[in-house]
Amino acid sequence: MSKSKIPFYKKVQEQPWLNPREKPYIHLENISKYFGDVAAVKNVNLSIYKSEFFSLLGPSGCGKTTLLRMLAGFERPTTGRIYIEGIDMTDVPPYDRPVNMMFQSYALFPHMNVEENIGFGLRQDGVPKNEIKNRVDQILELVKMSELGKRKPHQLSGGQRQRVALARSLVKRPKLLLLDEPLAALDRKLREHTQFELVNIQEKVDITSLMVTHDQEEAMTMSTRIAVMSEGQIVQTGTPTEIYEFPHTKFIADFIGTANMFEGVLVEEEPDHALIHSEEIDGDLYINHGVSVPIGSHVWVAVRPEKITIHKNEPKEKRNCAKGIVVEIAYLGDVSIYHLRLETGKIIMATVTNFNRITDQEMTWDDEVYLSWKPSSGVVLVT
Ligand code: ATP
């Protein structure tokens, strides 16, 4: 079971996407891509701003890589235009775009050492020897690999190879770095460490980055903004917090983190609150935001497991409350995830932070407990 993680930092203090006068660095206009009958990308419109670390996130086959490849120039859009710094790049070949792509497999040359691998692109471009040496040295220092310049790829760990590949992408000073699942080959610990390193390095060289990933934790941790894709379309764009706290649809609430989903009928609707009756909890859910659908509409309320509190005694407030039995406890070290079965049969997940050692905890299997959550904890979804 995976833990949902709230983004723990935001890199860009100013948010250029909120400034109507700011010009996008990359602009995709009505981009579609068909492979025969297969619509890989459908009418995508997207603006990315300078210095952003932007992620395309979505399940396998949703069209992320195809979109990235169109930006790099390896695929031509069936319809639409691609602009970089306001210049139409749609018909410009890959080698003439100010773009570098780092692939899933690092594809380092096995017979060349680290320095030669990194300098390869510069030699191809005819850069003078001295300058190549300076730029390679600088970039090796940046990725903390100065000591390992003479090693061959097979003498490096996976994480070190990954840093060489990154150095090779950066040494040509592209304006736009495209990353296709850059950390996929690393184990969990190294991956988490490298996520920080990658973001720090990209900030130091002040580059704009676009990353493709299907790993929501990775996207949440690293990105200024995320576009969630499904079946060739962008279904929501926002900061990690916006996407996590205010998902627009059930698909997004489910795909990003974990959500308890309560099905119900809207019975009261005001600008500052909504009341939803749900047979699934045999009660009412009170939410402190209005919704834009008529009374009687079929809706869902998403509540994240960490927003649910477990009580031994019945709370006074009856709304946003349910009674259940502990049927499962998943101990994950820092937190435990409780599965609670309500009298209606509905299973609810609640995350409890383990302040004490697990043996000290009072709640256990088959205990009867009460659950509650705040009016601000739920989001009403209509699709
Ligand atoms: P993954 O995470 O698995 O890499 P993705 O989101 O990157 O998936 P794409 O590789 O962009 O998805 O593929 C989108 C759709 O387009 C898929 O249905 C895929 O099978 C199809 N597709 C991609 N490339 C081609 C191609 N060259 N010819 C035909 N169909 C293709």
> Which atom of ligand 1 is least distant from the CA of 66?
11
Average pLDDT over residues 29-45: 97
Residue 66 Cα to ligand 1 midpoint, Å, equals 6
Asked if residue 341 has pLDDT above 90, the reply is yes
**Which residue's CA lies nearest to atom 29 of ligand 1?**
35
Contacts 24+ apart (CB under 8 A), 359-364: 361/336, 362/312, 363/310, 363/312, 363/326, 363/329, 363/338, 364/326, 364/329
**Is the distance from the beta carbon of residue 191 to the nearest atom of ligand 1 less than 6 Å?**
no
Domain with CATH 2.40.50.140 in the chain: 258-381
How far apart are the CA of 102 and the centre of ligand 1, in A?
Answer: 18
| Residue 65 Cβ < 6 Å to ligand 1 | yes
Q: How far is the CA of 65 from the centre of ligand 1 (A)?
A: 7
Each residue's pLDDT tens digit, 164-223: 988 898 888 888 999 988 887 777 877 787 788 788 888 888 889 999 998 888 899 899
Confidence band of 12 (pLDDT split at 50, 70, 90): very low
Chain region(s) in the chain for CATH 3.40.50.300: 16-98+174-252
CATH 3.40.50.300 assigned to domain 16-98+174-252? The reply is: yes
The alpha carbon of 60 and the centre of ligand 1 are apart by a number of angstroms equal to 8
Residue nearest to atom 7 of ligand 1 (CA): 65
For the stretch 269-326, pLDDT in tens is 898 999 999 999 989 999 998 888 999 999 999 999 999 999 988 888 888 999 999 9
Q: Which CATH class is domain 258-381?
A: mainly beta
pLDDT computed for residue 353 by the predictor: 87
> 């061959």: which residue's tokens?
152
**At residue 341, what is the residue type?**
R
Distance from C-alpha of 205 to C-alpha of 220, rounded to nearest angstrom: 21
In which band, very low, low, confident or very high, does the pLDDT at 334 lie, cut at 50, 70 and 90?
A: confident
Average pLDDT, the chain: 89
Ligand 1 site, residue 121, Cβ cutoff 6 A:
no
Supply the pLDDT for residue 349: 96
pLDDT at 10 over 60: no
Atom nearest to 69 CA in ligand 1? 11
